Amino acid sequence: MAESVDAIEHRIDALRAEIRRAVATRDTSRTRALRAELRAAERDWEQAVADLADLADLSAPTGEAPVGAEPGPAGSLLPVREQVHHALTLLSVPAAPRLIAEVHAAFFGPSAPSLAANRLTHLRRDEKRSFETAPYARPYHLCAALTAAHLAPARGLIAVSTWPLERRIVGPLSPRVDFLTAAVRVARRAGTMPDGSAPVSKLLWRFATNIPGATGAPGTLDRHDTVDPQTVIRAAEAEQAVHAETDRAQRKAAADRARRQLDDVQQLFGSTLRTLQRKTA
């Protein structure tokens, strides 16, 4: 791996001190060179922190080598958009890049390095461009979830164009309902896997700790290998029943509105207030 975050922080501190000295001696050309170096170091730092965040969640907590250490044939050969599609299909709800990367790593093994969460964000823009130049040319597009309030693209969520519009709408209750749906889907899939996959049980445990009654007996909260998929499914479905009806009604109303007001591109990638006003004016 590249330079550690701590090392880069030291380098940055040293550069800052250098710059102060250069400024004090009014050495402008040196100051400019140092500033450029500082900017580069800060970029390195950001990258290192992002990589760290990705690695921390993908590695096995028991100290085994992370799954990614053993390059499998399925992983890196698939294009990024297909990997994202796989993970989203498993989850069946709009999800943030981070979760997509985790799910992919847990169930489909190593992913291309480019699936790192921070690099997924620009994907949606590329997909939009592709759809605009050749609509429906691909079997699916990775697109946006839409906010129920303004039919604008929901921040940080990726969805699949072949899903019904209702599933891509995000009302106030939808984040929770989708979280519970994802938990059920992950638990079902985990139940069909051979035991002992640390990334899978860790992923399931993270869902379970945030759903009442999903971790089974209290006191087992810190043991991620004890989570039972069936318990998670029961608990998630029980909570889901509380929110489901209102959520469905809100999503349906917004989806109907979207079909009336938005063109094809906007239905997939979201509208902005300005275009919405023009259309309704």
256 binds another protein (CB under 8 A): no
Cα gap 108→246, rounded to integer Å: 34
147 binds another protein (CB under 8 A): yes
Tell me which residue has tokens 């979830």: 145
Cα gap 32→19, rounded to integer Å: 9
In SS3 terms, the chain reads as CCCCHHHHHHHHHHHHHHHHHHHHCCCHHHHHHHHHHHHHHHHHHHHHHHHHHHHHHHCCCCCCCCHHHCCCCCCCCCCHHHHHHHHHHHHCCCECHHHHHHHHHHHHCCCCHHHCHHHCCCHHHHHHHHHHHCCCCCCCCEEEEEECCCCCEEEEEEEECCCCHHHHEECCCHHHHHHHHHHHHHHHHHHCCCCCCHHHHHHHHHHHHCCCCCCCCCCCCCCHHHCCHHHHHHHHHHHHHHHHHHHHHHHHHHHHHHHHHCCHHHHHHCCCHHHHHHHHC
User: Closest separation between CB of residue 220 and another protein, Å?
Assistant: 15
100 binds another protein (CB under 8 A): no
**Given 2, 40, 46, 230, the residue binding another protein (CB under 8 A):** 46
223 binds another protein (CB under 8 A): no
49 binds another protein (CB under 8 A): yes
How many other C-beta atoms can be found within 10 angstroms of the C-beta atom of residue 182?
20
Q: How many residues bind another protein (CB under 8 A)?
A: 44
Q: Which stretch binds another protein (CB under 8 A): 69-77, 82-90, 223-231, 270-278?
A: 270-278
User: Closest separation between CB of residue 107 and another protein, Å?
Assistant: 17
Return the residues of window 77-96 that contact another protein according to CB under 8 A: 95-96
**Given 4, 162, 210, 230, the residue binding another protein (CB under 8 A):** 210
Q: Which stretch binds another protein (CB under 8 A): 66-74, 82-90, 132-140, 235-243?
A: 235-243
35 binds another protein (CB under 8 A): no
228 binds another protein (CB under 8 A): no
98 binds another protein (CB under 8 A): yes
Q: Which stretch binds another protein (CB under 8 A): 29-37, 45-53, 159-167, 227-235?
A: 45-53
**Given 75, 109, 110, 153, the residue binding another protein (CB under 8 A):** 153
Tokens describing residue 115? 């699936």
253 binds another protein (CB under 8 A): no
The site for another protein (CB under 8 A) is made up of: 9, 12-13, 16, 20, 23-24, 42, 45-46, 49, 53, 56, 95-96, 98-99, 147, 149-150, 152-155, 172-176, 178-179, 182, 209-210, 212, 239, 242-243, 246, 270-274
